Amino acid sequence: MASPTHPATEPVDLDAGAEVATGVLPSQRLRDAVTRGVITAGDWRVPLESIQPASVDLRLGEFAWALRCSFLPDSSSTVEEKIEDLAFDKIDLRDGATLERDRPYLVPLIEELRLPTDIRAKTNPKSSTGRLDVFTRVITDRNHRFDEIAAGYHGKLYLEVVPRSFAIRVKQGISLNQVRLVHGDARLTDRDLVNVHEEFPLLYMDSHPLRASELSLSDGLFLSLNIQGTPENLVGYRAKRNSLPVDLAHIGKLKWQDYWEPVHPEHGGRIVLEPEVFYLLLSAEGVSIPPSYAAEMLAYDPTAGELRTHYAGFFDPGFGYSQSKSKHGSRAALEVRARDVSFMVEHRQPVCKLAFEGMAATPDVLYGQDVGSNYQGQETMLSKHFSEQTAGNAQLAIRGAGETLESMSPKRD
């Protein structure tokens, strides 16, 4: 862990003496937020490498509570008051520990927030977290919502962690999620999205931007599945349920066959999702996020079917973007689970939706080489813990897949 530092006890207004800009705070403003103590790590500093184009990585603290059930505090209680009769074990994470499948755990995070009265925050899992089917969400004191943190909040952050398909081994200092700071409401309307797309194409099919009339819009921008090809084609992965734990500190060490089964399409470009089984699939469209915008995948939309189609949802500015237009977007890796019953999905079926927000300023670093993104230019949707991800997987030659396959959560991760 990094050397200690002691920030001021009260945060300084990030916009003191300046005109307040609406939008998601960019990397340079996030560094300023750390310097001024808006994001603090107590006796430890926030590493510069934790600061991304539009978010900051959050780190696990020194212990986890094992819980008998998930919960939310009410408006008059703190998180630690609520867990007094819910926690049955306290697990030391300093030297590492294994978290069991389907057991909720609560971990106090190293980072804390002291938000100004005009800055709110929201959190999301990191890309590798979602790809391993690890369900996470942040809880804060006197707040009845997950992952949404009200403007002016001063206090600790607690991460609920539920490994679903695989047990995981974690230790203090590992990052499973990330936080964005936002001023005002910068959400783009459907009309805004069309206007942006006409100037900076947001979705591509192969090497061509979609026409505005081809965009599927409804309070956001829909993405569809790419599951075309012959039954021999590999179009995704299905999690095995009885694998050994995944050690999150080990990168590029695991063989995918020990944890995943291949998914092949039926004739006609379709697959049947088994209920409560975790799948990694790809979007048909290439996604491009211009530098002045950020995006987030919405967790669940009932109009798209009985599916949950993401765990990790932040798209950073610059994801799949090329100023020279030499690149034509990047595919999104989609984490999919059918609910309750088997569910058939077909090629180009819309299954998930992107919400876009404006940035308060253009970040001084963008997704990709600027922050050493692990998933830039990837050839498989597997997480960075698998050797096939770090080496590239030539087997994943999906017809019409375009130039690159990209992470749904455009993080350095």
Q: What is the pLDDT of residues 153-180, one digit of tens each?
A: 999 999 999 999 999 999 999 999 999 9
Per-residue pLDDT at 398 = 35
Contact 40, 112 (CB under 8 A): yes
Question: For the CA atoms of the chain, what is the radius of gyration?
Answer: 21
Per-residue pLDDT at 339 = 84
The structure's pTM equals 0.88
Residue 57 CA to residue 262 CA, distance in Å, equals 31
Per-residue pLDDT at 373 = 54
Residue 385 CA to residue 170 CA, distance in Å, equals 13
3-state secondary structure the chain: CCCCCCCCCCCCCCCCCCCCCCEECCHHHHHHHHHCCCEECCCCCCCHHHECCCCEEEEECCEEEEECCCCCCCCCCCHHHHHHHCEEEEEECCCCEEECCCCCEEEEEEEEEECCCCEEEEEEECHHHHHCCEEEEEECCCCCCCCEECCCCEEEEEEEEEECCCCEEECCCCEEEEEEEEECCCECCHHHHHHHHHHCCCEEECCEECCHHHCCECCCEEEEECCCCCCCCCCEEEECCCCCCEECCCCCCECHHHCEEEECCECCCEEEECECCEEEEEEEEEECCCCCEEEEECCCCHHHCCEECCCCCEECCCCCCCCCCCCCCEEEEEEEEECCCCEEEECCCEEEEEEEEEECCCCCCCCCHHHCCCCCCCCCCCCCCEHHHHHCCCCCCCCCCCCCEECCCCCCC
Mean pLDDT estimate for the chain: 86
Buried b (16+ CB within 10 A) or exposed e, 378-413: bbbbbbbbbebbbeebeebebeebbbbbbbbbbbbb
Question: How many CA atoms within 13 Å lie on the side-chain side of 379?
Answer: 10
Per-residue pLDDT at 154 = 98
Given the structure tokens 């755990």, which residue do they identify?
Answer: 105
Which residues of the chain have a pLDDT value below 70? 1-20, 299-307, 309-312, 369-380, 388-413
